[in-house]
Amino acid sequence: MNKSDINEVKELLSTKQNIVVVPHRNPDGDAMGSCLAMYHYLQGKGHNVTVVAPNDYPDFLKWLPGSKNAFKFDMQNRQSKEALDEASITFLLDFNALHRVGDDMANTLEKFMGTFIMIDHHQQPDNIAKYLYSDTSICSTCQMVYQFFEMLNDLEAITPEIATCLYAGIMTDTGSFRFASTTSKTHRIVADLMDKGAKNAQIHNNVYDTNSYSRLQLLGRSLSNMVVIDELKTAYIKLTQEDLDEFNYQKGDTEGVVNYALSLKGVVFAVIFIEDTDQKIIKMSFRSKGKFSVNKFARAHFNGGGHDNAAGGRSTVSIDATISNFLSILPDYKNDLKNSYEK
């Protein structure tokens, strides 16, 4: 976004508007944090704002201020469509292509006649937004939303609610400030968010220390299902629908599990394969350390994408066929995996 874009956005927001704010499907902490921060900010400016998430999100995000007012497109379809019909501006936050909201909602968004504003840190954003703020070097969309407020010269509008939402999103997308994408600037922004009312210990507790017993049992199953391929510096985890059912799987329960595989000494590439019999897909999460780009890997082989060190993908064949396929591709990357350094 250049200076003239910012001036145009300022102009656009200078009169009362109906605005919708949209995260990607299966929204994570960064997606919900950025949308709810934007929601509070725009409401504070006197706009009529609705967050429309494509579908539900984990319980450990439902304490976020404003979460109760968000619609889910699949469950509150009529209200969601009405909000979009009436909106003159739609913010697209934390995703780079319309299909990331799911087919149903993408069809509705394709017909949207107003102005799209996209703020996102994923690679290769589609050219759909009139105003695009894209930067793949920034750790989180929440940090970008902070920088967007900064560009609007409006950091003083950040309330404790906004600070809390932004802190939560930066925290979750940086693995609690430890991934390489965390910069000194991230820490400065986080410090400012604390000064503006984000309660760090409380936010960490709300997100990470509210596990159910069955979620930890599922984590135990995941770890015992883990397979390590030393010579390819790779570890993977398989979770069948049966595993999920046995431990009363709830949305979000597998979030972060793949990081345990990546935490093994010597491993630079970690994958989790999760069977979803409802959607008839195998959902994959890819993580890497160093130069090995899981974004490229997911795009090339598993209909997905994301970032260099964290990406997702899917397959429509069985979980065992998916894993066989994965194992047959993997040796082609032996050199890349060997040369991806350990962090």
Residues that bind ligand 5GP (CB under 6 A): 24, 122, 285, 304-307, 310-313
- Residue 235 in 3-state DSSP? strand
Q: Which is nearer to ligand 5GP, 290 or 306 (CB)?
A: 306
* CA–CA–CA angle 128, 133, 137 (5° rounding): 120
Is-contact 273 237, C-beta < 8 A?
Answer: yes
Q: Which residues of 297-336 are buried (b: 16+ CB within 10 A; e: fewer)?
A: bbbebbebbbbbbbbbbbbeeebeebbeebeeebeebeeb
Nearer to ligand 5GP, 17 or 340 (CB): 340
322 binding partner (options Mn ion, ligand 5GP, none; Cβ < 5 to 8 Å by kind): none
Q: Which residues of 200-223 are buried (b: 16+ CB within 10 A; e: fewer)?
A: eeebeebbeeeeeeebeebbebbe
| Residue tagged 């986080």 (tokens) | 190
d(CA 58, CA 254): 10
For the segment 229-268, give every residue that binds Mn ion (CB under 5 A).
none
- Residue 231, CA distances (Å) to 256, 262, 268, 288 in order: 24, 15, 11, 16
Q: Which does 9 bind (CB under 5 to 8 A by kind): Mn ion, ligand 5GP, none?
A: none
In the complex, the smallest distance separating the C-beta of residue 137 from ligand 5GP, rounded to whole angstroms, is 14
Stretch that binds Mn ion, among 71-79, 89-97, 230-238, 306-314 (CB under 5 A): 89-97
> Of 26-34, 181-189, 283-291, 300-308, which segment contacts Mn ion by CB under 5 A?
26-34
Residue at shortest CB range from ligand 5GP: 312
Give 83 or 129: the residue with its C-beta nearer to ligand 5GP.
129
- In which residue are the tokens 């431990």 written? 247
For Mn ion, the closer CB: 66 or 306: 306
Q: Is 94 in the site for Mn ion (CB under 5 A)?
A: yes
Question: Exactly one of 21, 22, 30, 35 binds Mn ion (CB under 5 A); which one?
Answer: 30
Residue pointed to by tokens 């959607």: 279
Least Cβ distance, residue 24 to ligand 5GP (angstroms): 6
Chain residues in the site for Mn ion (CB under 5 A):
30, 94, 141, 173
